[in-house]
């Protein structure tokens, strides 16, 4: 008995080529817990630059992004200073958070992008789950999410006050070219 054809997602959701991420219309948001897990805390980082290369073969697709570590904003000035301080991200010494993909592969009805994330001077593997990709008349919209343990990157300060697990959502806009 043969298995039925299972539709696989295709990188052809977008036209092949380079898409330059627009820092003004892209956002990297975080969500974690604080105060011994009592409160949810959300924050945002600004994207400095990035690029998505779409190809007909997943192995030829790639993603790169650079985030401004000092740009963290949560709506609480004291928290923002704490997050960017030497106690956590040390954004003065480690100005950029970078992601460079090493593989793009279909996963069920979506995509997984694996790569290396550099935070606080440490590089660790990270897997991004692509939630949606849309072409809106030559403007590409990408949405992806990931979950990471900050301790893997040497960000260990404020234990108890800040949870170890950080959920990340990336909503990025790409422009052709």
Residue 164, both tokens: 């170890």
Residue with tokens 């974690």: 32
Q: Domains in the chain, start-ordered, CATH in brackets?
A: 14-176 (2.40.128.110)
Q: What is the average per-residue pLDDT within 106-116? A: 91
Would you state the pLDDT for residue 101? 98
Q: What is the pLDDT of residue 36?
A: 58
pLDDT in tens, 141-163: 999 999 999 989 888 776 767 78
Is 165 or 114 the better-scoring residue by pLDDT? Answer: 114
Residue 145 CB contacts under 8 Å (≥ 6 apart), including other chains: 128, 129, 131, 167, 168, 169, 170
With 90 as the cut, is the pLDDT of residue 110 above it? no
Query: What is the per-residue pLDDT across 31-62, written as a single tens digit (0 to 9) for each?
Result: 987 765 578 889 999 999 999 999 988 889 99
Task: Report percent pLDDT > 90 for the chain.
Answer: 67
- Residue 10 in tokens: 């295709």
Q: Looking at residue 5, what is its pLDDT? A: 46
Q: Which residues pair with 133 in a beta bridge?
A: 142
Mean pLDDT of the 130-134 span = 91
């Amino acid at each position: 008995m043969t298995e039925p054809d299972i539709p696989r997602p295709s990188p052809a959701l977008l036209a092949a080529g380079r898409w330059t991420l627009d820092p003004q219309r892209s956002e990297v948001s975080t969500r974690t817990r604080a105060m011994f897990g009592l409160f949810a805390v959300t924050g945002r980082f600004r994207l400095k630059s990035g690029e998505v290369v779409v190809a007909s073969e997943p192995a030829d697709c790639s993603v790169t992004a650079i985030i401004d570590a000092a740009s963290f904003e949560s709506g609480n000035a004291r928290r923002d200073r704490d997050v960017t301080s030497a106690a956590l991200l040390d954004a003065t010494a480690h100005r950029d958070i970078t992601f460079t993909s090493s593989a793009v592969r279909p996963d069920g009805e979506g995509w997984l992008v694996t790569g290396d994330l550099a935070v606080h001077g440490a590089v660790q593997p990270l897997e991004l789950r692509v939630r949606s990709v849309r072409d809106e008349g030559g403007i590409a919209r990408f949405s992806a999410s990931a979950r990471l343990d900050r301790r893997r990157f040497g960000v260990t300060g404020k234990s108890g006050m800040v949870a170890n697990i950080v959920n990340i959502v990336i909503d990025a806009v790409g422009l052709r070219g």
